[in-house]
Amino acid sequence: MNFKLTSKYKPTGDQPEAIKELTEGIEHGDKSQVLLGVTGSGKTFTMANVIANVNKPTLILSHNKTLAAQLYEEMKGFFPQNAVEFYVSYYDYYQPEAYMPSTDTYIEKDLAINDEIDKLRLSAVSSLLSGRKDVIVISSVSCIYGMGGPVAMKDNVIRIKKGQILDRNIFLRSLVNALYVRNDIDLQRGNFRVKGDTVDVAMAYSDNILRVTWWDDEIDAIEEVDSISYHRLGSFEEFEIYPANLFVTSKEQTENAIRQIQDDLTIQIDFFNEIGDSVKAQRIKERVEYDIEMIKELGHCSGIENYSRYFDGREPGQRPYCLLDFFLEDNLIIIDESHVSVPQISAMYGGDRARKKNLVEFGFRLPAAFDNRPLKFEEFHNLIKQIIYVSATPANFELEEAEGVVVEQLIRPTGLLDPEIEVRPSENQIDNLMEEILVRSEKDERILVTTLTKRMAEELTEYLLNHEVRAAYIHSNVASLDRIKIINDLRNGIYDVLVGVNLLREGLDLPEVSLVAILDADKEGFLRSHRSLTQTAGRAARNVNGKVIMYADTITDSMQKTIDETLRRREKQLKYNELNHITPTQIKRSIKETLPIGDTNMVANVLNVKKKPKIYSILQEETALVADPIVMKMTRKQLEKSIQNTTAMMKEAAKNLDFLQAAQYRDEILRLQAELEQKTV
């Protein structure tokens, strides 16, 4: 099946030319292309059109879950008849295993898996295994982390046909090999149930149940039924059941893996004994032998992923399998916000290895643990067939990859221009800023101010508050949920000014902001680089009165590049507006509205989440944090009830892919549990 794009919009501005150039580049076999699209120019719509034109299975990589969720909803709206999938980390909470030799502290791995995201991940892999071309997978950097190989997954796909002669017990054994679990009482996702000649399979990647009925040894019917009402939803002549886990293996592979683990354990014990470290030798011996016994008895153990190389049959140092291995050979990769995503991909391997180095050196893990890892950037790069880097400020790497050929998308459908940039002296910059704030506030417009440090942001906010300016600050020490609340309060007019250190957050959509003030703009560095200045200036690009003031005593190269680039864009935008008789129109967007495309509220839940009442059993209204006197006075029974209720809320938030809210509930549970441990009654 081919991609079928559904949209009430038509490409406008320079979207048609961008779509044409990118499509032709892919058809001509260009490996790398760059789409330089300004904020608000409709880059996602352009991507959707290119995907529909080239008709290749596509991976869209985003640098965080929130933006990945936003892209997922938009693409689901554009391609309702095709397979649009979501593949991000399924951890609501994850504390990796670690060892700190300075304090002799070993930290056990701790995690909470989001069942809904696990289902979506399996759905993504199932769509790719099916061999269909019309698949779009929106992923975070999780796509470069290790998983089971495609051959093992394909070998465990169960194919059945109506009228097929198949012994029921053989079918049941196939389900077990595909890691489905028999449960005749409580049929959950990944389970199957047997009732006489009928087998119900709760597929791990779907909300519905597959019902297979036999007549003697012949498959009489294959039906899909609702998991709640058990109403029949449809029937099939043939069907494929995909594995219930991303890591599947056979009995032979397990036996081979155990032999190799035992051999490597002997080598490691000998190594520690040779260097005279009997403590480490004893530690690795006890830990690995315990894991081997668990694998023999149960088929798994805690931290089994550290032995993945043995189960996969890989050589030491060989890269793990990842999501990219499941795509058809002729595929397309799109990296969104590439100036952030590419460095993130590059950093994953180093961070993982640094953590495991201590675990291996101090006898907690075999050296094979190093091979349970994300891909190195070179390995990821070698898997690329064709790629489009998308960014308003592409980095040098992307430009070099595309050999300097850049497809530009500078025109906004609203006719809005890039903001004017004015440079003012840093002397008396705060007094001058105060005057600008008063002018904008009277017009009911908002102001963003960027400083160089967190302390400066806090002190400036305090100064503004003392002068009766409604201001707030935001930086990395402010909790994620609080940041979103502050941003919404800014849009609602509770604040007029938002002060921060690094407000160039990709995806930050604030049409009410008409002024961005950059203090100490001439202090060269990461926060005042050309790309950072351009991204920060773009925060004023959604307002018809948008303006940027850079306070500086000298104009640095970065400032000049930003000013020159902005002038170039404005010139092109003005010319287009004049030729097409377009008058720039102010964006007016409801703060609570979800995206205009798609029929789910997932992104609205992620992006527009607000602090919800905390579920303390003795209160029915919003309360403060766990440090509140009310919580401290709770009995053990009341605290246990509160933990139970908050856990339910966390699971509900996670089910809705409301990651930030789920994280807050998780933190709340940890605080409540800490309080509970101190209670005796």
Pick out the residues of the known binding site for ATP: 37-44
Residues tagged in the binding site annotation: 37-44
Rounded to 10 deg, the angle between the 480-492 and 659-677 helix axes is 130
Nearest to residue 351, comparing CAs of 334, 374, 385, 325? 374
196: exposed, middle or buried (C-beta count within 10 Å: 0-12, 13-18, 19+)? exposed
The radius of gyration of the chain's CA atoms, rounded to the nearest angstrom, is 28
**Region for 654 from its dihedrals, namely left if φ exceeds 0, alpha if ψ lies in -120 to 50, beta otherwise:** alpha
- Alpha-carbon span 615 to 627, nearest angstrom: 15
Tokens, residue 278 = 């009997």
Burial 399-438 (b: 16+ CB within 10 A, else e): bebbeeeebbbbbbbbbbbbbbbebbebeebeebbbebbe
- Alpha-carbon span 617 to 207, nearest angstrom: 32
Q: DSSP letter string over 102-142?
A: TTTEEE--EEEE-HHHHHHHHHHHHHHHTT-S-EEEEE-GG
- C-alpha dihedral over 106, 107, 108, 111, to 10 degrees? -170
- Alpha-carbon span 340 to 354, nearest angstrom: 22
- Alpha-carbon span 138 to 117, nearest angstrom: 12
Q: DSSP letter string over 33-84?
A: EEEEE-TTS-HHHHHHHHHHHH---EEEE-SSHHHHHHHHHHHHHH-TTSEE
Quick check: 517 and 551 in contact, CB under 8 A? yes
Quick check: 101 and 359 in contact, CB under 8 A? no
Quick check: 562 and 537 in contact, CB under 8 A? yes
HEC assignment per residue over 513-553: EEEEEECCCCCCCHHHCHHHHHHHHHHHCCCCCCEEEEECC
Gap between the terminal Cα atoms of the chain: 64
229: exposed, middle or buried (C-beta count within 10 Å: 0-12, 13-18, 19+)? exposed
- Alpha-carbon span 577 to 201, nearest angstrom: 58
